[in-house]
Amino acid sequence: MDHVDKQILYHLQNQARISMTELGKCVGLSQPAVTERVRRMEEKGIIQEYRTMISPEKIGKQAAAYILFRTWDCHAFLDFCRSSPDVVECNRISGEHNYLLKVMTDSTRSLEEFGNQCDKYGTYTILIVMSSPIEPKLLIPSLEEANLLADLE
């Protein structure tokens, strides 16, 4: 993956619906050349999928929490998580707990109910999200950010 591929990824992660013509202009390639590079990155699994970012609040998901979970029956717990529409992330972690979940519901009362459903699978700690003051960061920095990081090293 060269510098141009990284530029392509940067633009796609910011605007996945950008046209290949516009993307080509952004990185200095023709539409067929940029289309071919994107296709190759898709085939290699570098680009896995394209997604839409949805505002949780606009669809009634007012409460978010991270849950540290310790279980001895991982299979049953994972089946429960897969079937729950409230679980938006599940990560296997090291240390005292087995899993870190991100859960989004319509209210803190619903978070409590979710916790009650978890009781049969093990022990947990619910950490309610108060706010998210830093936006999620992109995996591929802009050219300017990459140059700044290189200067700091």
3-51 CATH, one of 1.10.490.10, 2.60.40.10, 1.10.10.10, 1.10.580.10: 1.10.10.10
Q: Is the pLDDT of residue 116 over 60?
A: yes
Domains of the chain, residue spans? 3-51, 57-128
Exposure string over 107-128, b if 16+ CB within 10 A, otherwise e: eeebbeebeeebeebbebebee
Q: What is the pTM of this model?
A: 0.78
Burial class (CB in 10 A: 0-12, 13-18, 19+), 24: buried
* Dihedral of the alpha carbons of 59, 63, 68, 74, in degrees to the nearest 10: -40
Mean pLDDT of the chain: 92
pLDDT tens digits for range 24-34: 999 999 999 99
> 57-128 has which CATH code?
3.30.70.920
pLDDT tens digits for range 41-53: 999 999 999 988 8
